[in-house]
Structure 1
Amino acid sequence: RIEIVTGRKYPFGNHIKESLSSLPPKVEIKVEEVECQKQGVSKLAVTLTRLSQPLQSTKRHYADMIVGSEEENLIHFHE
């Protein structure tokens, strides 16, 4: 059907489907302050929720978490 709509020849649709399945999943990020003992120091809870359906893909997707301070221009945490 993709070929009919786009006017392209087979296997154009399969290439499009493969490209889409290799995209990273859509996620929602929620950040909540759990604890604040003193000014400038907070404990946060970060929740990631997958919004897109998992696909049968052999490609793995990775993410980095970096915590820093803009004022001091420092990276405090990287995982």
Structure 2
Amino acid sequence: ERSGFITFMSNVDPKFSTISRRTLTRTILPDLYTKMLHGFKSFCSMATFISLTLDLWTDRRQRVFFALTGMNNINEGYY
């Protein structure tokens, strides 16, 4: 990271330490993906029904964005 960002973050939080891009792409993101996938599978397996909403849009620079929202009833006695 650039020195200005590192200086800023050390003033905000003296315990802050940067991680390398290599560590981020080879370790942290794959672990996060695995956790999210297991959570999603658990969510789907417990659902009696799932309602999905998909939203697609582009910005002025023609970059594409999408959002997927899933909803499930929390439990049978929630109503």
TM range (shorter): under 0.3
- Which structure: larger Rg? 1
TM-score with structure 2 setting the length: 0.27
Which of the pair is proportionally richer in helix? 2
TM-score with structure 1 setting the length: 0.27
Which of the pair is proportionally richer in strand? 1
